[in-house]
Structure 1
Amino acid sequence: MPEGDIVAVDFALTDRQRALKRNAREFAREVLRPAAEAADRIADPHEAFRAMKPVYEQAAAAGMTTMFLPAEYGGGGASNVDFLIAIEELCAVDPGFPTILLVNGLALMPVLWHGTDEQRERWLGYATGPRRSDFLAGWAVSERGGTANFDHPSPRAGIQLLAELDAATDEYVLTGEKHWPCNSGGWDLDGADMSVCIVRTDRSGGGTEALSAIIVERGTPGITYESIDKLAHRTCQNVTMTFRGARVPAANLLCPGDGDLLISRNFTWSGPIAAIASVGVARGAYDFALKWAKSYTGGGAGPIIEHQAVGHLLTDIAARIEAARYFCWKAAHYLDAHPDGGHAIGAMNKTFCGDLMQRVVFDCMRLVGVNALDTRFPLARLYRESVVFPLYDAGNLGMQRRRAWGVMADRGFSPDTFVDGDPLPFTKAMEGYGAGGVPGLP
């Protein structure tokens, strides 16, 4: 084949990416695993989270906690694909701890994309400062009852945390509640160093015109934090965040009137990360099941991998993991090329991998048999962890699939958009499908 006709599709890791994978795997096995296994057994949810602080500080020293930020702001300058390579290795051991890193990104990336020069200098510089090994950033969107319909046209639906401007003091007064924000409580339940909160800045407008984002600083009076006791992901923190007349400087406002677009862009950025996290959990289950099948006899003359049913099932499991991983790489690569696009492929990637991973974990348990229930082995915990992925990060039956639907309904979308790598910016016209009260297809 002539050199000019070679297809420019390459799944080979660079030497730097191989080193990143190797270092992340070593950190996961040597540092993260023992701490996560111990923390998962702590009954108090906040104490379980606090037990991970030494691991977090070591991750910060290794550059993991802000590796997604550009080098010009003190970050690691990692591409989306690079970040996925590291996250998979961590999640194969424990998916809760890497969620802390993901949420740092969900709070800091909006400042990078939409912040003023002053906001970028202050918050990105603060996050990457040499003495900030315990820096935490929170992302607060969800509210009690859920906010999948954040872009509903009614002011009585969606986001209800109200932010009203007090012109006399040039401050926004926040009243309401956030439920499930990660990291926002901080290590001591006095708040993360900063949390990006989606707020309603217009009482009368709908979700595509009345929402904004605002940076809430640690120690802001009028806010209380209560830890949520969870089934899984116990090594990261989720809280109920209650605002009772909390005052935040107007200078902390982001995306006035376009908070809806920020929500969509942020969950697009996180989609492939959540997807590769689910691949990591699936791989963790597969690693154990494969070793088990090669050594366990089940009372027979040889290891159970010699049985056709076991061999066929392992083949299917391995194929699903390989396919899911490459889908993640494709979605991340598209976002590296088109940072303000990819809303459909990011959503499809997250929902596909999250749903697929649950089947993989359960199939690994079927292969191992009743011993999979023994808490001395990892499958029982991985099964608990697996139920998180279709529910968090915008929810597979919530806004993730609905965002993809809105993109595909647009006249500019083509079935070849992603395979050809063509840009397709996300607009307000793509929002609202399935939220109620919105006209049908254009």
Structure 2
Amino acid sequence: MGYILNKDQQDLVDLAKDFAQKKVAPFVAELDRAEVPGEKLYEIYKEAVDIGFCGLEIPEEYGGMGQDYYTVAAVYEELAKVDAGFATAVAASGLGLKPVLQHGNDAQKQLYADNLTGEKGSGFCAFCLTEPNAGSDAAAGTTVAVKQGDEYVINGTKCFITNGGVASVFTVFAITDKTKGVKGISAFIVEKDRPGVSIGKEEDKMGIRLSNTTEVIFQDVHIPADHLIGQEGKGFVYAMQTLDLARPMVASLAVGIAQRALDEAVKYAHERVTFGKPIIKHEAIAFKLADMDIKTEVARSAIINFLNTYYAEPKRNYTREAAIAKCYAGDISVEVALDAVQILGGFGYSREYPVEKLVRDAKIMQIYEGTNEVQRIVISGFLAAKK
């Protein structure tokens, strides 16, 4: 592993590894096949909350673990090695939390801390930005928040919301001034139990099936004015800042998938004998495994490069580094998972072995939290600005 961690950090990563292997792994195949994951998944979610995995980023003064992003990324990788869907559910709470940590006041931070540490609520939150007609073009959203006295009234529908059905609090982006374009978008805290909040259909997904993905519908939802995060009209900026921090965390999930695929392929290549020797001794397989290892380690290094930049120069724009980490890790997770299927041959194509699932899980890494096409737009924009 490329992360250089102290003993306390490594102990937490080892705890995540142990939890994933003992508490999650025995049920992955069953829950992946289930039409509705059911109570067993929520029991495991609850255990993760009790340990503190959903509150890794929350400062200690609010009751969280106060971990740096090196540790968080390493924890997410370990969880994703066992199941990327479960890891996505945990990471999505971090996504919903980030705008509040960056721009919220003390009371708002405590509200989220209480939810994510299990003191109140479910232990999960959700980031509500995407809409049916506003995915990559997030500024095209139509959800509105109208100020009425000392309240805001929110109306609109969000879709593809990770943790939508299990979160007890939402970070919601809505238009407060239609005349100002992206400068008219604001960010709000909305508790799930407020009248007018409802959960739409749960998505029947190709992969990451141990995460909950739903519509979230807001119909005349009244919230206090103090549930505005930061300033009115800054919501789009907050969302983009959040995604810059979150994309490398998605990359860590992608690296977890790739590392698991590599591990499974190496294990099989030692065991499978053809023409009198293990297939790992055949150059065609050995070189493919080497390429898989190179891609996985470079993807991990891209995350570390982002984090080095983030901590060394916090006032610098790190959008490019975030986009590179997410884009490259997402792409290679698919490539490495497919290579693992190829190495395992017919067994790789069978659901009896885990690698076909890794392909299904990997594909979303190129799509959510900004498609890889969008990441390339971002990166090329930085190149075009150079003279």
TM-score, structure 2 as length reference: 0.93
Correspondence for 1:179:
159
Q: Match for 1:81 among 70, 74, 78?
A: 70
User: 1:160 aligned to 2:147?
Assistant: no
User: 1:197 aligned to 2:189?
Assistant: no
**Greater alpha carbon shift after TM alignment, 250-259 vs 48-57:** 48-57
**Greater alpha carbon shift after TM alignment, 133-142 vs 360-369:** 133-142
AA aligned opposite 2:356: A
- Partners of 2:68 and 2:117 lie apart in 1 by 17
- Partners of 1:346 and 1:261 lie apart in 2 by 16
Correspondence for 1:324:
299
Task: Please report how far the alpha carbon of residue 233 of structure 1 lies from its aligned counterpart in structure 2 after TM superposition.
Answer: 0.9
Aligned identity (percent) is 28
- Partners of 2:112 and 2:345 lie apart in 1 by 50
C-alpha RMSD of matched pairs (Å): 2.0
Task: Please report how far the alpha carbon of residue 336 of structure 1 lies from its aligned counterpart in structure 2 after TM superposition.
Answer: 3.2
Mark the CA change 1:402 to 1:250 in structure 2 (over 3 Å): closer, same or farther: farther
Summarize deviations over 1:32-89 as a string: whole Å, max 9, x none. Answer: 1113222111113xxx165322212222232211011111221111110011111111
Task: Please report how far the alpha carbon of residue 159 of structure 1 lies from its aligned counterpart in structure 2 after TM superposition.
Answer: 1.5
Mark the CA change 1:19 to 1:293 in structure 2 (over 3 Å): closer, same or farther: same
Give the count of matched residue pairs.
383
- SS of 1:371's equivalent in the other structure is coil
- SS of 2:87's equivalent in the other structure is helix
**Greater alpha carbon shift after TM alignment, 224-233 vs 82-91:** 224-233
Larger radius of gyration: 1
Mark the CA change 1:133 to 1:194 in structure 2 (over 3 Å): closer, same or farther: closer
- For structure 1, the residue ranges without an aligned partner over 5 or more in a row are 1-9, 152-157, 187-191, 415-442
AA aligned opposite 1:377: Y
Mark the CA change 1:242 to 1:134 in structure 2 (over 3 Å): closer, same or farther: closer
Correspondence for 1:17:
9
Q: Match for 2:194 among 211, 220, 231?
A: 220
- Partners of 1:250 and 1:405 lie apart in 2 by 40
CA contact (8 A) 1:49 1:234 kept: no
- SS of 1:173's equivalent in the other structure is strand
CA contact (8 A) 1:344 1:408 kept: no
TM-score, structure 1 as length reference: 0.82
Summarize deviations over 1:271-327 as a string: whole Å, max 9, x none. Answer: 1110111010011111111010001114x3221111111111111111111111111
Mark the CA change 1:337 to 1:35 in structure 2 (over 3 Å): closer, same or farther: farther
- Partners of 1:338 and 1:107 lie apart in 2 by 24
- Partners of 1:217 and 1:11 lie apart in 2 by 36
User: 1:38 aligned to 2:52?
Assistant: no
Task: Please report how far the alpha carbon of residue 409 of structure 1 lies from its aligned counterpart in structure 2 after TM superposition.
Answer: 5.1
Correspondence for 1:362:
338
Correspondence for 1:310:
285
Correspondence for 2:122:
134
User: 1:265 aligned to 2:241?
Assistant: yes
Correspondence for 2:107:
118
CA contact (8 A) 2:86 2:211 kept: yes
CA contact (8 A) 2:5 2:71 kept: no
Task: Please report how far the alpha carbon of residue 133 of structure 1 lies from its aligned counterpart in structure 2 after TM superposition.
Answer: 8.2
AA aligned opposite 1:16: D
